[in-house]
């Protein structure tokens, strides 16, 4: 199963999935499996009523966002290296899904807990290692609070990697290094992403983390420079705009077949169009969501708590966007072929309306039934509640089911 894959086109682009039954029955069977897997994994690994209790909630949020990011690297940057095409084409979906998921988890443990936590957190930047932060920081807090600070730092680091990574995956691909085989192509693109993402982290997130301590760490972190614009010191401001930029690109991929980005073919105009266009769409999306929050809960104010807090509202734009993104991905993965005979505009419009309506109903159901079905806290703004952790867990499972397992059980790989 180990091979240097020098095929020019990404395997996912060459793959064709066909439904085992009708599209409706195949999609529903996949949806049932997804729901069962979500509830089992949530109650076993994440719920505070379960045995592992990963949902604190920032620890669970940081775990699922990094897992999703690493899966995207596997699929888009490294094209499933080091697995052979023969294995990808012929292995049973459960075997292939299990192996690729194991590679994801191993990569997570090596990169996040090996490099970031054990090496950088212990010998470089203290806030990436919660026991060391608790030991030498003398914060007067318990170890779980220190873990939440570290989880927030890890979460923040993932966001620019996510944003720049999606820009490179969608807007660059093989354009810069067209002749490199795997894994050199993946490494080259990953290093390009890292070179841009790490400075973005220190500019847009590090000032907030430095200001979380008392006194503020002004000699290693400037005071949050966005306060006058955002009315908050919190990097939730940066989180909202950056991650919503990622989400709007995913909207275009799953609802509009990559339009409008696919209209521009030549570089550097393609990447410029993607970066500028996605940022504009993100600003529009965030402003609409903030306006809706003002309508529901009146205007936020400095010193406000829970839903009246500016920082909470910026981060909650990500949550609302993800409530809509989940049904958008389900429509594309499970039921997309039902729309295949429609024109792009009609298909995209219908799918967008369905995703918006179902997403808002999903959000309502989550906050009404979540305390009973998932064991979460009541209310939309409880300090121990962050719905994005649950939503990204669902997206992780969707990625595994479609990309790692060829749409099992409702779909199969066409030979």
- Number of domains observed in the structure of the chain: 1
Over residues 235-286, the pLDDT tens digits come to 999 999 999 999 999 999 999 999 999 999 999 999 999 999 999 999 999 9
Instruction: Grade residue 136 by pLDDT with cuts at 50, 70 and 90.
Output: confident
Q: Domain limits at 270? A: 11-403
Q: Per the domain annotation, does 395 fall within a domain?
A: yes
Q: Per the domain annotation, does 412 fall within a domain?
A: no
CA angle 41, 111, 240 (to 5 degrees): 70
SS3 at position 52:
coil
**Number of residues in the chain:** 415
Contact between 238 and 226 (Cβ < 8 Å): yes
- Residue 73 per-residue DSSP state: I
Q: Per the domain annotation, does 107 fall within a domain?
A: yes
Using alpha carbons, select from 42, 221, 248, 99 the residue that is nearest to residue 162.
Answer: 248
Average pLDDT over residues 67-83: 96
| CA dist list (Å): 385 to 145, 281, 304, 378 | 15, 27, 17, 8
From CA 127, how far away is CA 120, in angstroms rounded? 9
Q: Per the domain annotation, does 6 fall within a domain?
A: no
Contact between 406 and 17 (Cβ < 8 Å): yes
Q: How many CA atoms lie within 13 A of 305 on its CB side?
A: 2
Average pLDDT over residues 90-108: 96
Q: Per the domain annotation, does 410 fall within a domain?
A: no
Q: Per the domain annotation, does 2 fall within a domain?
A: no
Q: Which residues contact 30 (CB under 8 A, 6 or more apart)?
A: 333, 334, 401, 407, 408, 409, 410, 411
Q: Per the domain annotation, does 413 fall within a domain?
A: no
Over residues 15-54, the pLDDT tens digits come to 999 999 999 999 999 999 999 999 999 999 999 888 999 9
Contact between 143 and 226 (Cβ < 8 Å): no
Q: Per the domain annotation, does 398 fall within a domain?
A: yes
């Amino acid at each position: 199963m180990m091979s240097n894959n020098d095929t020019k086109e990404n395997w996912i682009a060459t793959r064709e999935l066909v439904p085992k039954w009708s599209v409706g029955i195949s999609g529903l069977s996949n949806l049932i499996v997804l729901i069962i897997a979500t509830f089992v994994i949530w109650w076993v690994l994440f719920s505070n009523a379960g045995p592992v209790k990963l949902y604190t909630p920032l620890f669970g949020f940081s775990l699922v966002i990094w897992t999703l990011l690493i899966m995207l690297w596997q699929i888009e940057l490294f094209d499933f290296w080091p697995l052979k095409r023969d294995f990808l084409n012929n292995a049973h979906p459960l075997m292939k899904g299990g192996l690729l998921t194991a590679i994801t988890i191993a990569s997570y443990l090596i990169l996040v807990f090996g490099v970031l936590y054990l090496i950088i957190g212990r010998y470089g930047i203290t806030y990436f290692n919660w026991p060391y932060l608790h030991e030498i920081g003398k914060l007067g807090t318990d170890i779980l609070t220190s873990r939440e600070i570290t989880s927030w730092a890890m979460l923040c680091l993932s966001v620019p990697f996510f944003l720049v990574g999606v820009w490179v995956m969608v807007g660059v691909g093989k354009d810069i290094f067209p002749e490199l085989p795997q894994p050199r192509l993946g490494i080259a693109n990953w290093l390009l992403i890292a070179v841009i993402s790490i400075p973005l982290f220190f500019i847009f997130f590090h000032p907030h983390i430095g200001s979380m301590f008392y006194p503020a760490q002004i000699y290693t972190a400037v005071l949050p420079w966005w306060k006058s614009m955002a009315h908050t010191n919190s990097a939730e401001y940066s989180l909202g705009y950056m991650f919503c930029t990622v989400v709007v690109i995913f909207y275009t991929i799953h609802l509009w077949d990559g339009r409008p980005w696919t209209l521009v073919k030549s570089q550097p105009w393609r990447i410029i169009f993607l970066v500028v266009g996605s940022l504009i769409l993100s600003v529009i999306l965030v402003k609409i969501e903030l306006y809706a929050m003002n309508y529901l809960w009146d205007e936020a104010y400095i010193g406000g708590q829970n839903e009246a807090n500016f920082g909470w509202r910026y981060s909650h734009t990500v949550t609302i966007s993800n409530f809509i993104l989940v049904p958008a991905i389900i429509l594309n993965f499970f039921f997309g072929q039902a729309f295949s005979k429609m024109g792009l505009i009609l298909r995209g419009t219908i799918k967008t309306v369905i995703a918006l309506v179902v997403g808002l109903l999903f959000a309502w159901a989550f906050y009404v039934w979540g305390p009973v079905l998932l064991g979460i806290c009541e209310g939309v703004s409880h300090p121990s509640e962050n719905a994005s952790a649950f939503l990204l867990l669902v997206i992780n499972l969707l990625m595994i089911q479609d990309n790692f397992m060829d749409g099992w059980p409702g779909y199969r790989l066409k030979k």
